[in-house]
Amino acid sequence: MTAHRLLVGPFNRIEGDLEVRLEIEDGRVAAAYANSPLFRGFEAMMAGRDPRDALTVTPRICGICSISQSAAAALALADAAGARMPPMGARVAAILHGVENLADHVTHFTLFFMLDFARPAYTGRPWHARAVERFTAAQGSGLRAMVEARAALMHITGTLGGKWLHTLAIQPAGVTRAPDARDRVRMTSTLRAFRRHLERETFGAPLEEFAALETLYALDAWETGDVGLFLTIARDLGLAAAGVGPRRYLSWGAHPGAEGRATRAGLWQAGSVTPADADAVREDLAHSWMMGEAAHPLDGVTVPDEEMRDSAYSWCKASRLAGAPAETGALARQAVDGHPLAQALATEGGVRARVAARLLEIARTQIWLEAQVAGVDPSHSLMGDWTLPDAATGVGLT
Amino acid sequence: MQHPALERRRLLHAGGYPCIACTAPEFESPKSTFTETPKIAGMSVGLPTDMPKAWFMALSSLSKAATPKRIDTNARADRVRIAPQPRRERS
């Protein structure tokens, strides 16, 4: 028996605030400890402030998903104040949210994930030359095409949100910028250009064909575009069996909009979806450098353990649903929504499943966004009135 | 509560919401809510460092009085309500 420890990190893909400690026995990982070496404490920053400041403070949690944080803050304030967005306001907020989601997915696939397969460690693999040509850092043809296409897609965020990151456009009772007819035409042509990019580079075929895949067998037969290259690599390296999660998937539903959410909410487990109960969420502190007991986010406190006790190893709280971990993200959203391919992937549950589900969500979100933008009517009101109550409780879930 | 653009207490950002000067030092600790400017009798409590209060009062009331109706209306709406018109020909 050989046992040793490996410290992976800091990861430099985004900010470096992640460190993973691996305990390895007989060439396999026996235990993994994921740690955030950076204490954030955003909850503590909000205490004592005007609740409306949540719209400014919470989006700064993240430089990637700031609109999602913004939408959650606006929903929580709306829930507390009993405010509602006019349907067109909700539609515009959902478009902003969806565009960020789409941009993040293509960034992850191209810049954070596929990039790794261009490393010299894989020299000699039959697919390596193609991976080098497409995904070498700062040089790959796939990378460059994606960065350009993504920058153009983000024009929609500029049009509707004024800027990205940290827009204040999404408010509890609507959005602040009313797109006119010219904006709608521009957004339509921006989306059309992004579809061309996806169909030419990423999928190598119409998006509807990928979105219509129903089985793992059909997915395996996909050969075109970077998706085809990814599936070839996944087969060769056994990515389907790598990194299997708890196979318990939670989604509150993507992009709250005019006609409800873009995807259904629920908890997927062993092929069946049950309603997800937000009251059953707990933040577990057993291995966190945090004081206090496991509690619902409404009741919990964020008091760091300055002693950094030995039984803990992370500045993160661990979210649990009804006492057990649950996976979130594209795979969860698509499986809970009931897409047949995503459900098959949810059972598979590994690295390939997560990446393939992200690709599926790219295709479906692009199609969904086109329909949302087509429904933008510049004559409608986008903002209603709301009053902040003296005391209230609210929850915002995205 | 009004549309943030309607309050018109801070500079209006292109996105239709108030500019919170997020690149300025100490922006994270404003004297009040981010999207509102604290005022006494219509005058901002905090002024730019190079702006004497008397100047500011004079300039501010002058600019308020001189604001064309079109700009005043549009700045308080979520879209352009009054489009710019060509000037009338001088006779």
**Domain assignments of chain A as residue spans, ordered by start:** 1-38, 52-244+350-374
- Identify which of A112, A144, A154, A152 has the alpha carbon closest to the alpha carbon of residue A18: A112
Q: How many Å apart are CA A332 and CA A327, to the nearest integer? A: 7
Do residues A357 and A271 touch, judged by C-beta distance below 8 A?
no
Structural element, H or E, at residue A250: strand A248-251
Look at the alpha carbons of A323, A328, A331, A335 in this order and tell me if their dihedral is positive or negative: positive
The predicted structure's pLDDT at residue B11: 65
The annotation places the binding site of A at: 43, 62, 65
Instruction: Name the token pair of A40.
Output: 């954030």
ipTM: 0.83
Contact B15 A50 (CB under 8 A): no
Query: Least CA distance to A163: which residue of chain B?
Result: B15
Q: Cα-flanking dihedrals φ and ψ of residue A24, to 5°? A: -115, 130
Local structure of A184: helix, strand or coil: helix
Q: Which of A45, A49, A53, A184 has the highest number of chain B CBs within 10 A, making it the mutation to test binding with B?
A: A53
Q: How far apart are the CA of B55 and the nearest CA of chain A, in angstroms?
A: 31
Residue A171, chain B, CB below 8 Å: the answer is yes
Min Cα–Cα distance to chain B from A19, Å: 28
Summarize the annotated binding site of A for Ni(2+) as residue ranges: 65
Residue in chain B closest to A179 (alpha carbons) equals B79
Count of CB pairs separated by less than 8 Å, A with B: 67
Q: What is the pLDDT of residues B1-30, one digit of tens each?
A: 444 444 434 567 778 898 888 888 888 888
Contact (CB<8Å) A168/B79: no
Q: What is the largest CA-CA distance in chain A?
A: 72
Alpha carbons A118 and A123: distance in angstroms, whole number: 8
- Chain A residues touching residue B4 (CB < 8 angstroms): 168, 171, 176
Question: How high is the pLDDT of residue B10?
Answer: 52
Q: How far, in Å, CA of A45 to CA of A343, rounded?
A: 39
Query: Do residues B3 and B78 touch, judged by C-beta distance below 8 A?
Result: yes
Mutual orientation of helices A141-153 and A128-135 as an angle, nearest 10°? Answer: 40
**Contacts with B2 from chain A: Cβ below 8 Å:** 385
Contact between residue A298 and residue A322 where contact means Cβ atoms under 8 Å apart: no
Dig out the tokens for A131 from the structure. 């991976």
Beta bridge partners, A175, equal A170
Query: Scanning every residue of chain A, which has its alpha carbon at the shortest distance from the alpha carbon of B21?
Result: A56
> Would you tell me the crossing angle of helices A181-197 and A351-374 to the nearest 10 degrees?
150
User: Does the distance separating the beta carbons of B16 and A385 come in below 8 Å?
Assistant: no
Determine whether the interchain pair B15/A52 forms a contact, defined as Cβ–Cβ distance below 8 Å: no
Which residue of chain B has the CA closest to A166?
A: B22
Given CATH 3.30.450.20, say whether it is the number of domain A52-244+350-374. Answer: no
Largest Cα separation within chain B, whole Å, is 55
Residue B4's pLDDT is what? Answer: 44
Q: Give the residue numbers in B contacting A (CB under 8 Å), as ranges.
A: 1-5, 13-18, 20, 22, 32-35, 78-80
Residue-wise pLDDT tens digits, B77-87? 878 889 998 88
User: How do strand A28-35 and strand A19-25 relate by DSSP bridges?
Assistant: antiparallel
B15 contacts A163 by C-beta, under 8 angstroms: yes
Q: Do B16 and A386 touch (CB under 8 A)?
A: no
* Tens-digit pLDDT string for chain A (398 aa): 568 999 987 777 777 678 899 999 998 889 999 888 889 889 999 999 999 999 999 999 988 999 999 999 999 999 999 999 999 999 999 999 999 999 999 999 999 999 999 999 999 999 999 999 999 999 999 999 999 999 999 999 999 999 998 999 999 999 999 999 999 999 999 999 999 999 999 999 999 999 999 999 999 999 999 999 999 999 999 999 999 999 999 999 999 888 889 999 999 999 999 999 999 999 999 999 999 999 999 999 999 999 999 999 999 999 999 999 999 999 999 999 999 999 999 999 999 999 999 999 999 999 999 999 999 999 999 999 999 999 999 999 99
CA A32 to the chain's CA centroid: 23
Which residues of A carry a binding-site annotation for Fe cation?
65
